[in-house]
Amino acid sequence: MMEHIRTPKVENVRLLDRSSGQRKANVGTLYLSSMHTIFVENNPETRKETWVLHSMISSVEKPPTIPAGSQLILRCKDFRVFQIVIQQERDCLDVYTSLVRLSRPEKYSELYCLSFNPSVDKEERQESWNFIDLMADYKRMGVPNNLWVMTAANSEFRVCDTYPSELFVPKSATPSVIVGSSSFRSRGRFPALSYFHQDTLAAVCRCSQPLSGFSGRCHEDEMMLQAVMKSNPGSDYIYVVDTRPKLNAMANRAAGKGYENEDHYANIKLQFIGIENIHVMRSSQQKIIDVSEMRSSSMTDYLWGLENSGWLKHIKAILDAGVFISRAVADEGVSVLVHCSDGWDRTAQACSVASILLDPFYRTIKGLMVLIERDWVSFGHKFSHRYAHLDGDPKEVSPVIDQFLECVWQLSEQFPCAFEFNERFLIVIHTHVYSCHYGNFLGNCQKERKDMRLHERTHSAWPQLWKDRAQYTNSLYKAELSQTQGVLRPNTTPYCFKMWRGLYNHVEKPTPPSQSAADFLSAVREQSQQLEEELTNHQEVPSGGTTHHHQLGSRQEDCCPDWQTNHVGEGCGSEEEV
């Protein structure tokens, strides 16, 4: 990549980190390496360094020249924005041309993870890849058992090349049924087990849409869904959750795809959720980024910008999908088969959110790692396409895992004691998904990673995150609390969703002094008491005055949008509490 660098060093450069709220630019020297842009301040006391990995740069813009010099704007995939001012136009043009190419790698060998070489030997590298053991997690669920077994049908990725080679299916599903079902499902992604609930024996399975068109059917696929139903002795039907809006699913029928015909599949109940496609989500996130970058705007403008982006409504739709699945499994004891179009975007979101709600293990640091490896990495979420690891089709890019991580954050706000990890853990995972610092999220499926020999050529992020887990631990987490152990039942009414400022706004905050959980809760309690006293004082009627009643819980949209950025007192607990 060094051949693409025209000017490796430029002095007297001004750098402004706009995303952190910085108002005064720092002066220093700008360096370009094959993988990083590095800015070193001239201040001899601090000599602060700012490193930006080229794979984290989303776009490079060159606005008009200003009196101080020529400008560049670097927008990063973690929502940081840097403004660079270079005195000489020629130097600026050289840096611009270099960064445009360096930030758009054309092949995997140009990515940082394939040159990152920490001082570990071959055995340590392999051990790091064995840190997450998905088979151990299935064993923890009680699988295999007399209902679910591992199938060899997809060994060497023979049936479905975007699925993992090791899969669990209903015990009654024969190889011919599996192969037949695969031929009737988009991309060959047949129904397979994602999560097994030991208490109810209900399961969460996943697949892609059927190739049904308007009247097509497949005997083996119908038998496969029957086998899923029979693998739950406590229920005589299953839910098929189509995470798409029904209109979208109906439109796919014209292309020979679509959804299950309830007249052909015995004992299924079809449920549409209404999560929009990747193109809608990409556009929505861009609007939320624009809202975050608004300068000198009023609170009204900010709130309406947030509302008009539709972002929080999309987050709600994904969380609603997880809630529906978790209630079916835990409360009704009914198995659920989840799909979208190809089964690697909205399906991953819905299944993983449901697992978070159902199982407290996935609310731990190690558990979230396992969940991402299972429902995202192994089941073929298209990381390199969705997060623009290589220069490719921009229409393939979409913030799919961003939305999952935000759903987890929204849940942690409602249930602050139920998660072992804190916000910082979610943000660092988000960064690693985009950065290509490690090999975990490279490629689009397990087969692709195996063909690239990533376990031999790159390193895993999980052991390092585990080593640093003290930074990512939630001080309020109590493993023994009933809230922590049980099924989470979030409130998904619109007013309970917030703007995730920690992800989109990188304003540096002073580190608070260390504080015990008890002290923190005591401070919150005192603040709540003060607010209640103020509310009581406001409600007191002056002598001879007129009483004006304001009903609590009345319609809020008369005075402000549904979606709010913050809530005093955090009034969004479980539904039983509201």
Residues with active-site annotation: 340
Asked if 120 contacts 128 with a C-beta cutoff of 8 angstroms, the reply is yes
Q: Which two tokens stand for residue 493?
A: 């009414």
Which ranges constitute the DSSP H helices of 41-114? 89-102
Asked if 207 contacts 337 with a C-beta cutoff of 8 angstroms, the reply is yes
Rounded (10°) CA dihedral 338, 341, 347, 350: -80
Closest listed residue to residue 429, CA positions, set 352, 342, 316: 352
Q: Which two tokens stand for residue 241?
A: 């959750």
Other beta carbons within 10 Å of 45: 6
| Chain Cα centroid distance, residue 468 | 21
Closest listed residue to residue 63, CA positions, set 106, 29, 92: 92
Rounded (10°) CA dihedral 81, 87, 93, 94: -100
Quickly list DSSP for 433-477: HHH-SSSTT-SSSHHHHHHTTHHHHS--SHHHHHHTGGGGB-TT-
Tell me the three-class secondary structure of 104-154, residue by residue: CCCCHHHCHHHCCCCCCCHHHHHHHHCCCCHHHHHHHHCCCCCCEEEECCC
Quickly list DSSP for 355-420: HHHH-GGGGSHHHHHHHHIIIIIITT--HHHHTTSSS--GGG---HHHHHHHHHHHHHHH-TTS-S
Q: Which two tokens stand for residue 5?
A: 């660098």
